[in-house]
């Protein structure tokens, strides 16, 4: 039995067989296949080579259009290499002779070629090493793509173990076949984590070195409540986890009644508890679980699951479906928050060096106005079916807000001219998730109708901690006094201006923070659907005076540790069952 510690990102416990999801970025392990699979592996290799040549052709044509002949020649050279039988024949021979996977044969032959170029010493050959690596990545990705569909064909449900997963890979998972997820990389609020939560799949990320050591078919426990992964557990551990799962199920059953009860504190303060969604169908889960509407629709996931920009009609259908499913409850559409860990890196010829500081969110939209307009048209048209709001992500300057509003006004003019119905009074707001927006909250408050504090990004930008990087995960916490002070200022600025303010980062869905957020003056929380009942249960178990007292106490602390301990203690008293009746350092 081996126990690994990681970051708990999506609650629940999964017990099942390992399915290693090889990613092209991973050092490819040597895996053998039975004799009967050798021909299949060779055909997978041929398919991957052909699809890589096709992909390179698309890149070549794009480079020719956008970057000129010199850049296009690079891709032509890459295509030539993949047609070169002195490279591809040894791959086939190795699959036959050693009975290994196509991935392994590809990795070995590319490594040999890179070594040959490196040994030649000459500078022009040395740069070819990068070409070889890049080419290898293309072919391995083509093979991994097949692996992905192999996963979707999985008949036996399994636990996916991977070195790294992108949000779009995770979005393709089906909760019926993927019991749990454990990855070497990733952080608490990475978008892969958010997708796992949306799908209700227990997940532990940032485990370190699991994918390298786990093998298909081994038994594994993924404890998404505690951030523990147990490989080849002994009978006693399995038993203790089975008992824990039963306890948690019993607790969930007691939460069922929350759906029909109002989110109101014991002294009668009403809270608007909304849901965060990534897919239209989740809107029904929000209403079923007793959410008052959708406080954050991460619309970019429509794009991520389609792998192309959805047309205005495709968007309109998904947005209108969401609004209809909500039956008169409000829906806040956040415009495409692409970039950083979502989509644009793989679509770029040259990945950004610092994607989280790069062309993402509203910046990306403002540089792609036709795309932005298509989305705004689709959202506004959907607004004819029920109450909606429009929210812009990662706004850092007033100019961005003004430009985005100008584009929206333009879109409204067009729709009006075309005689299309929409609501001209649709509230327009921003995510407050950059330090600049938080510091200048009172200025922004004068030019928009509402704020939603995106703590996932706010924490990473205030603390300079990458939210997806497991090696600095212990530094990533909303408990840092700097984060809390900024949030307090934002709430105050919104109140002074009389605009609504909510929190939609993952912080709002964790029971430890509910009292603090209420005590800070927040009355609107938007959380993942899975968290609605437990947060409502906390709200219904506290009074405002206690919340305000706690907020004052926490506000006097200088260290995040003090804050975390104090909040955890308070939450334990209100809802001990949410902690599974286990102490903080009990591994199983
Ligand atoms: C946030 O940053 O807190 C947020 C809600 O947006 P996302 O997690 O999609 O970046
Ligand atoms: Mg964000």
| 8-state DSSP, 35 | G
Structure tokens that stand for 275 in this block: 């849901």
Q: Is the pLDDT of residue 2 over 80?
A: yes
Cβ atoms 2, 232 nearer than 8 A: yes
Cβ atoms 203, 180 nearer than 8 A: yes
Question: Which among 6, 27, 26, 24 has a CA at the least distance from the CA of 208?
Answer: 6
Between the two ends of the chain, the Cα-to-Cα distance in Å is: 12
Cβ atoms 23, 151 nearer than 8 A: no
User: Residue 186's pLDDT is what?
Assistant: 87
Rounded Cα gap, residues 135 and 288, in angstroms = 48
Closest ligand 1 atom, CA of 456? Answer: 3
User: Residue 213's pLDDT is what?
Assistant: 83
- How much of the chain, in percent, has pLDDT values that exceed 90? 61
| 8-state DSSP, 451 | E
Active site residue 448: no
Question: Which among 319, 503, 518 has a CA at the least distance from the CA of 426?
Answer: 319
Rounded Cα gap, residues 425 and 410, in angstroms = 14
| 8-state DSSP, 508 | G
Cβ atoms 393, 431 nearer than 8 A: yes
Residue with tokens 């990533």: 476
β-sheet bridge partners, residue 10: 203
> In 10 A of CB 283, how many CB atoms?
25
| 8-state DSSP, 270 | B
Residue with tokens 């557990």: 233
Residue 585: pLDDT band by 50, 70, 90 thresholds?
very low
Lowest mean pLDDT among 13-22, 56-65, 91-100, 331-340: 56-65
392: Cα within 13 Å, side-chain hemisphere:
31
User: Residue 147's pLDDT is what?
Assistant: 53
| 8-state DSSP, 466 | -
Q: Is the pLDDT of residue 24 over 80?
A: no
Query: Nearest C-alpha to atom 1 of ligand 1 is from which residue?
Result: 454
3-state helix, strand, coil in the chain (%, to 5): 55, 15, 30
User: Residue 584's pLDDT is what?
Assistant: 42
β-sheet bridge partners, residue 169: none
Closest ligand 1 atom, CA of 506? Answer: 3
Cα–ligand 1 centroid distance for 458 (angstroms): 8
Structure tokens that stand for 564 in this block: 């975390």
Rounded Cα gap, residues 235 and 437, in angstroms = 53
Q: Which residues of 5-36 are buried (b: 16+ CB within 10 A; e: fewer)?
A: ebbbbbbbbbbbebbbbbbbebebeeeebeee
Strand ranges across the sheet with 178-183: 2-5, 228-231, 219-223, 13-21, 158-162, 178-183, 203-205, 7-10
Cβ atoms 330, 296 nearer than 8 A: no
Rounded Cα gap, residues 578 and 492, in angstroms = 31
Q: Is the pLDDT of residue 37 over 90?
A: no
Average pLDDT over residues 380-388: 98
Q: Out of 191, 343, 365, 479, pick the active-site residue.
A: 191
Rounded Cα gap, residues 76 and 146, in angstroms = 24
Cα–ligand 1 centroid distance for 454 (angstroms): 5
> Residues with Cβ < 8 Å from 184, sequence gap 6 or more?
162, 163, 164, 206, 207, 208, 209, 210, 211, 212, 470
Average pLDDT over residues 13-30: 76
Return the axis-axis angle of helices 312-326 and 369-382, rounded to nearest 10°. 30
Q: Are strands 2-5 and 228-231 parallel, antiparallel or unpaired?
A: antiparallel
User: Residue 554's pLDDT is what?
Assistant: 97
Q: Is the pLDDT of residue 285 over 70?
A: yes
> Residues with Cβ < 8 Å from 52, sequence gap 6 or more?
82, 135, 138, 139, 142
Query: Nearest C-alpha to atom 6 of ligand 1 is from which residue?
Result: 454
Phi, psi (rounded to 5 degrees) for 212: -70, -30
Lowest mean pLDDT among 23-37, 50-64, 191-205, 297-311: 23-37
Active site residue 191: yes
Closest ligand 1 atom, CA of 453? Answer: 3
Q: Is the pLDDT of residue 518 over 50?
A: yes
Residue with tokens 């060779």: 42
Q: Which pLDDT tens digit goes with each residue over 185-217?
A: 888 888 888 888 888 899 999 998 898 888 888
User: Residue 78's pLDDT is what?
Assistant: 83
Residues within 6 Å of ligand 1 by CB:
189, 194, 296, 298, 337, 433, 454-457, 504-505
User: Residue 27's pLDDT is what?
Assistant: 56
Average pLDDT over residues 406-414: 98
Query: Between residues 58 and 429, which one has the greater pLDDT?
Result: 429
**What are the structural domains, with CATH classification, of the chain?**
2-26+153-251 (3.50.30.10), 36-148 (1.10.274.10), 268-560 (3.20.20.60)
Cβ atoms 387, 328 nearer than 8 A: yes
Q: Is the pLDDT of residue 348 over 80?
A: no
Cβ atoms 533, 482 nearer than 8 A: no
Residue 209, burial from CB neighbour count under 10 angstroms (0-12, 13-18, 19+): exposed
- Count of positions (residues) in the chain: 588
Q: Which pLDDT tens digit goes with each residue over 113-170?
A: 877 877 776 655 656 766 777 788 778 888 876 555 556 556 689 999 998 887 777 8
Cα–ligand 2 centroid distance for 427 (angstroms): 20
Structure tokens that stand for 550 in this block: 């706690």
Q: Which residues of 420-447 are buried (b: 16+ CB within 10 A; e: fewer)?
A: eebeeebbbbbbbbbbebbebbeebbee
H-type helices in 230-347, by residue range? 235-255, 282-288, 300-306, 312-326, 344-347
> Residues with Cβ < 8 Å from 115, sequence gap 6 or more?
none
Q: Which ligand is nearest to the CA of 300?
A: 1
Query: Nearest C-alpha to atom 7 of ligand 1 is from which residue?
Result: 456
Q: Which residues of 70-79 are buried (b: 16+ CB within 10 A; e: fewer)?
A: ebbebbeebb
Q: Which pLDDT tens digit goes with each residue over 89-116?
A: 999 999 999 998 898 899 888 888 877 8
Q: Which ligand is nearest to the CA of 395?
A: 2
Q: Is the pLDDT of residue 522 over 90?
A: yes
Q: Which ligand is nearest to the CA of 195?
A: 1
| 8-state DSSP, 32 | B
Residue with tokens 């170029």: 117
Cα–ligand 1 centroid distance for 505 (angstroms): 5
User: What DSSP string describes 542-579?
Assistant: --HHHHHHHHHHHHT-SSHHHHHHHHHHHHHHH-GGGG
Classified as helix, coil or strand, 361 is helix
Return the axis-axis angle of helices 69-83 and 123-152, rounded to nearest 10°. 70
| Averaged pLDDT of the chain | 89
Average pLDDT over residues 210-237: 91
Q: Which pLDDT tens digit goes with each residue over 523-550?
A: 999 999 999 999 999 999 999 999 999 9
Query: Nearest C-alpha to atom 3 of ligand 1 is from which residue?
Result: 454
Rounded Cα gap, residues 519 and 567, in angstroms = 12
Cα–ligand 1 centroid distance for 394 (angstroms): 9
Closest ligand 1 atom, CA of 276? Answer: 5
Q: Is the pLDDT of residue 586 over 50?
A: no
H-type helices in 120-211, by residue range? 123-152, 167-171, 191-199
Rounded Cα gap, residues 305 and 199, in angstroms = 13
Q: Is the pLDDT of residue 347 over 70?
A: no
Lowest mean pLDDT among 228-242, 263-277, 350-364: 350-364
Rounded Cα gap, residues 284 and 286, in angstroms = 5
């Amino acid at each position: 039995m081996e126990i690994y510690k990681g970051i708990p990102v999506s609650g629940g416990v999964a017990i099942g067989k390992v399915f290693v999801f090889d990613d092209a970025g991973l050092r490819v392990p040597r895996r053998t296949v039975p004799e009967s699979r050798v021909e299949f592996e060779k055909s997978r290799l041929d398919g991957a080579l052909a699809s890589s040549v096709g992909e390179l052709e698309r890149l070549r044509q794009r480079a020719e259009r956008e970057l000129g002949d010199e850049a296009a020649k690079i891709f032509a050279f890459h295509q030539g290499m993949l047609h070169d039988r002195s490279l591809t024949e040894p791959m086939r021979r190795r699959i036959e002779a050693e009975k290994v996977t196509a991935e392994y044969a590809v990795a070995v032959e590319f490594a040999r070629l890179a070594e040959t170029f490196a040994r030649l010493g000459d500078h022009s050959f040395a740069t070819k090493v990068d070409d070889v690596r890049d080419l290898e990545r293309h072919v391995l990705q083509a093979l991994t793509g097949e692996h992905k569909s192999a996963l979707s064909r999985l008949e036996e449900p399994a636990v996916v173990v991977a070195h790294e997963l992108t949000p779009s890979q995770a979005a393709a998972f089906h909760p019926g076949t993927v019991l749990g997820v454990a990855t070497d990389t990733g952080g608490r609020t990475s978008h892969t984590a958010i997708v796992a939560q949306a799908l209700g799949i227990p997940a532990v990320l940032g485990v370190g070195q699991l994918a390298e050591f786990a093998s298909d078919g081994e038994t594994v426990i993924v404890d998404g409540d505690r951030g523990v992964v147990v490989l080849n557990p002994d009978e006693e551990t399995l038993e203790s986890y089975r008992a824990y799962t039963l306890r948690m199920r019993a607790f969930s059953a007691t939460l069922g009644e929350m759906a029909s009860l109002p989110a109101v504190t014991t002294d009668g303060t009403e809270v608007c508890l909304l849901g965060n969604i990534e897919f239209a169908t989740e809107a029904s889960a929000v209403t079923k679980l007793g959410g008052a509407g959708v406080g954050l629709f991460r619309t970019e996931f429509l794009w991520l699951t389609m792998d192309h920009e959805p047309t205005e009609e495709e968007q309109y259908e998904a947005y209108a479906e969401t609004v209809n499913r909500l039956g008169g409850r409000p829906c806040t559409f956040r415009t495409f928050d692409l970039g950083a860990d979502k989509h644009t890196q793989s679509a770029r010829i040259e990945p950004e060096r610092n994607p989280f500081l790069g062309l993402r969110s509203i910046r990306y939209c403002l540089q792609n106005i036709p795309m932005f307009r298509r989305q705004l048209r689709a959202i506004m048209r959907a607004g004819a079916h029920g109450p909606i709001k429009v929210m812009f992500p990662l706004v850092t300057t007033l100019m961005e807000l003004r430009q985005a509003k100008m584009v929206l006004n333009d879109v409204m003019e067009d729709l009006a001219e075309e005689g299309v119905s929409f609501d001209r009074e649709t509230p327009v707001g921003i995510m407050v998730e950059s330090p600049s927006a938080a510091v200048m909250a009172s200025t922004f408050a004068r030019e928009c109708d509402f704020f939603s504090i995106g703590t996932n990004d706010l924490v990473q930008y205030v603390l300079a901690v990458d939210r997806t990087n497991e090696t600095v995960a212990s530094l990533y916490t909303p408990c840092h006094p700097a984060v809390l002070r900024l949030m307090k200022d934002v709430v105050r600025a919104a109140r002074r201006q009389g605009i609504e303010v909510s929190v939609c980062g993952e912080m709002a869905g964790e029971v430890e923070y509910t009292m603090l957020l209420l005590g800070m003056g927040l009355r609107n929380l938007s959380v993942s659907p899975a968290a609605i009942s437990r947060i409502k249960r906390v709200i219904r178990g506290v009074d405002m005076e206690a919340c305000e007292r706690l907020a004052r106490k926490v506000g006097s602390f200088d260290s995040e540790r003090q804050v975390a301990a104090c909040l955890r203690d308070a939450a334990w008293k209100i809802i001990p069952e949410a902690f599974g009746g286990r102490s903080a350092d009990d591994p199983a």
